[in-house]
Amino acid sequence: MAGWVHRRRDHGGLIFIDLRDRHGITQVVFSPKDKVAFKIAENLRPEYVIFVEGKVNKRPKGAENKELATGGVEVMATKVEILNPAKTPPFEIDQAGDINEELRLQYRYLDLRRERMRDNIVFRHKVVKFMRDFFDKKDFLEIETPILIKNTPEGAREFLVPSRKHPGNFFVLPQSPQQLKQLLMVSGFEKYFQIARCFRDEDQRGDRQPEFTQLDIEMSFVEQEDVLNLAEELVLKLVAKLTPKKKVSKKPIPRLTYAEAMSRFGSDRPDLRFGLELIDFTNWAKKTKSDLLNKAEVVRGLRVSRAELAKKETFTRSEIDELTILVKNYGLGGLAYVTKRDRELISPLMKFIDSKAQATFKDLKNGEIIFFGIGEEGIVNAALGALRNEMALRLKLADANRLSFVWVTDFPLFAKGEGGKLEAEHHPFTAPNPGDLSKLDKRPPEVRALAYDLVLNGSEIAGGSIRIHEPKFQQKIFEVLGLDGKEIGERFGHLLKAFEYGAPPHGGIAFGLDRFMMILRDEETIREVIAFPKNQNAYDPMLETPSPVDGDNLKEAGIGIINKKK
Ligand code: ASP
């Protein structure tokens, strides 16, 4: 056997080595009877790389280790060779608990020796293999698309790659293979998939990586239903095979329209492992005497029931203060509430609510509380959506062992960007719902798209759409988005030109592979399922990069640095 010294124990005159390799740990025993081997074993330290020869014996009765796959046997060593000694690692490889993440990333090759990380990487391989087999069986082709391309506007900032051959010109790294997979449909490949690396130069809000992996899919001659069915079959088969211990709700995956998701859960990626649906109080609020309430665009409530509170009596003042800070981050002015203590209603709004209005709360049980979001609909939804998730966290309402998928469909085609400018909600190639075409010119925000997201436990794990395939119509959407003829030609000329040569109707979807695996592995960040991720500051502490390059390299690329940060 060959591998790494995981642990050494000297015990009753014998030396025990836990030898670690990719598949796990095996116990090796050295006896002083075997003088040469024993002498070497005395010098073995953690992480030495060794080669061992010996005889596999059954362990003595009572000495078995049920935790280990090899726990029934041990190797009685007759020969050992040190292939390479090792320095003491900066953290213990068999340490299960918290290790400073920056240190882990700096020594990622050692971090990956740890069991949990090794298992994550092995799992990742299995997921990707499953996907490849699945699509192969369904007659899809895996086709690579280039990494050096022209920009593919989908909303994120792109990484630039200077061209030495064409000074002053740049490639960009793809945020996704979106346009290329559409062009492959024009080529007639009909069913495409790719495990594709994508790049987005975004601020590291939350759990993001500048490069990440998508399972990218595109199909011709399909409707939304075909894409949803395929993706559904994939994920349900995949989790049944690879995470058999997880509880998964029955087929089919439930569906919510975007509008429903927002009004019931305050989010377009609701976690359906728990209830806590929002309740609309707008009509009620209109009848109260408070201007705050009756002038608000919407008033919605989040009611925490006795069952959800479980053993918790009620929310304390300081907890409510914390929750108020949370909702203020989403733009709410404050967090009003109604609760009941000793059968008495308590609320900062009490003086505005007359006895008639109070009747609404008569079934409130002691300790139960309704939090209110008062104001603009978008802000109220976002704030209460976040509060709903926070409640679930604090009250432990989400079953960690459950996988709860939900489709969110009928997204709006457009979103309001900076300065109220119309932007594509998904990307500009998304087809509108044919039923809403009449609103395209006059009321674009009301146009729904043939776009869908797959949500798992409150995270978006996939998103896609049916695409526009008629060049004139694509041109029209660019115009609605405020692009002029010149911009359209420069940025999308290739696509419009291609569409003029017979583009089939097509649509697709892409999965964020890292996030999907993170959830399946119960990890907190996608970094835990990526072999060599960047840190939260988009920096690689192991390679120590991004880093300056040689002046000559810059000159060749025709680049001068104007704003050098230390
Ligand atoms: N390209 C899209 C994305 O990266 C996915 C798709 O529409 O297929 O979000």
Q: Give the residue among 328, 348, 338, 323 at the shortest CA–CA distance from 371.
A: 338
Structure tokens at 386: 């976040």
Residue that is written with structure tokens 């050494």 in the block: 8
Atom of ligand 1 nearest to the CA of 429: 7
Choice from 176, 450, 454, 509 to test ligand 1 binding pocket (greatest atom count within 8 A of CB): 176
Ligand 1 atom 6 nearest Cα: 464
User: Residue 167: what residue type?
Assistant: P
User: How close is the Cα of 209 to the center of ligand 1, in Å?
Assistant: 16
Ligand 1 atom 1 nearest Cα: 178
Atom of ligand 1 nearest to the CA of 175: 4
Choice from 219, 227, 427, 495 to test ligand 1 binding pocket (greatest atom count within 8 A of CB): 427
Q: How many residues does the chain have?
A: 566
Ligand 1 atom 7 nearest Cα: 464
Residue pair 28/16 in contact by the 8 Å Cβ criterion = yes
Give pLDDT, residue 451: 98
Residue pair 431/476 in contact by the 8 Å Cβ criterion = no
Burial of 166 (0-12, 13-18, 19+ CB in 10 A): exposed
Q: Give the residue among 523, 276, 531 at the shortest CA–CA distance from 391.
A: 276
- Map 47-88 to HEC letters: CCEEEEEEEEEECCCCCCCCCCCCCCEEEEEEEEEEEECCCC
Structure tokens at 387: 């509060």
Choice from 178, 185, 215, 495 to test ligand 1 binding pocket (greatest atom count within 8 A of CB): 178
User: How close is the Cα of 450 to the center of ligand 1, in Å?
Assistant: 13
Structure tokens at 234: 């994939």
User: How close is the Cα of 244 to the center of ligand 1, in Å?
Assistant: 29
Q: How far is CA 194 from CA 139, 173, 533, in A?
A: 13, 16, 21
Specify the 3-state DSSP secondary structure of 225: helix
Q: How many CB atoms lie within 10 A of CB 296?
A: 22
Query: Cα separation of 387 and 381, whole Å?
Result: 10
User: Residue 197's beta-bridge partner residues?
Assistant: 213
Residues with Cβ within 8 Å of 192's Cβ and at least 6 positions away in sequence, in order, are 140, 141, 142, 143, 181, 184, 185, 216, 217, 218, 219, 508
User: How close is the Cα of 545 to the center of ligand 1, in Å?
Assistant: 28
Query: Quick one: angle between helices 115-137 and 513-520, nearest 10?
Result: 120
Atom of ligand 1 nearest to the CA of 216: 8
Query: Cα separation of 41 and 336, whole Å?
Result: 68
Low-confidence ranges of the chain (pLDDT < 70): 152-154, 204-206, 564-566
Give pLDDT, residue 564: 62
Q: How far is CA 361 from CA 136, 311, 429, in A?
A: 57, 22, 48
Atom of ligand 1 nearest to the CA of 198: 4
| Opening angle at CA 240, ends 235 and 243, nearest 5 | 95
Query: Cα separation of 452 and 460, whole Å?
Result: 10
Atom of ligand 1 nearest to the CA of 508: 8
Choice from 181, 195, 409, 426 to test ligand 1 binding pocket (greatest atom count within 8 A of CB): 426
User: How close is the Cα of 72 to the center of ligand 1, in Å?
Assistant: 50
Residue pair 382/330 in contact by the 8 Å Cβ criterion = yes
Query: Cα separation of 169 and 430, whole Å?
Result: 29
Ligand 1 atom 9 nearest Cα: 463
Atom of ligand 1 nearest to the CA of 214: 4
Give pLDDT, residue 487: 87
Residue pair 7/17 in contact by the 8 Å Cβ criterion = yes
Query: Quick one: angle between helices 258-265 and 377-394, nearest 10?
Result: 60
Structure tokens at 374: 């008062």
Ligand 1 atom 4 nearest Cα: 176
Residue pair 124/243 in contact by the 8 Å Cβ criterion = no
User: How close is the Cα of 154 to the center of ligand 1, in Å?
Assistant: 8
Ligand 1 atom 8 nearest Cα: 509
User: How close is the Cα of 197 to the center of ligand 1, in Å?
Assistant: 12
Residue pair 76/59 in contact by the 8 Å Cβ criterion = no
User: How close is the Cα of 457 to the center of ligand 1, in Å?
Assistant: 20
Residues with Cβ within 8 Å of 133's Cβ and at least 6 positions away in sequence, in order, are none
Per-residue pLDDT reduced to its tens digit, 93-120: 987 778 999 999 999 999 999 999 999 9
User: How close is the Cα of 465 to the center of ligand 1, in Å?
Assistant: 8
User: Residue 152's beta-bridge partner residues?
Assistant: none
Per-residue pLDDT reduced to its tens digit, 388-429: 999 999 999 999 999 999 999 999 999 988 888 899 999 999
Query: Cα separation of 502 and 523, whole Å?
Result: 45
Number of helices (H), then strands (E), belonging to the chain: the values are 17, 24
Rounded to the nearest 5 percent, the helix, strand and coil shares of the chain are 35, 25, 40
Query: Cα separation of 50 and 135, whole Å?
Result: 42
Supply the pTM of this predicted model: 0.94
Residue that is written with structure tokens 């059968």 in the block: 343
User: How close is the Cα of 510 to the center of ligand 1, in Å?
Assistant: 5
Q: Residues enclosing ligand 1, CB less than 6 A?
A: 154, 176, 178, 463-465, 508-510
Residue pair 292/372 in contact by the 8 Å Cβ criterion = no
User: How close is the Cα of 463 to the center of ligand 1, in Å?
Assistant: 6
User: How close is the Cα of 117 to the center of ligand 1, in Å?
Assistant: 29
Sign of CA dihedral 474, 425, 404, 457: positive
Atom of ligand 1 nearest to the CA of 178: 1
Phi first, then psi: give them for residue 423, nearest 5 degrees: -130, 160
Give pLDDT, residue 153: 64
User: Residue 498: what residue type?
Assistant: A
User: How close is the Cα of 456 to the center of ligand 1, in Å?
Assistant: 17
User: How close is the Cα of 464 to the center of ligand 1, in Å?
Assistant: 5
Atom of ligand 1 nearest to the CA of 217: 8
Specify the 3-state DSSP secondary structure of 134: helix
Phi-psi region of 413 (alpha: psi -120 to 50; beta: other; left: phi over 0): alpha
Residue pair 406/425 in contact by the 8 Å Cβ criterion = no
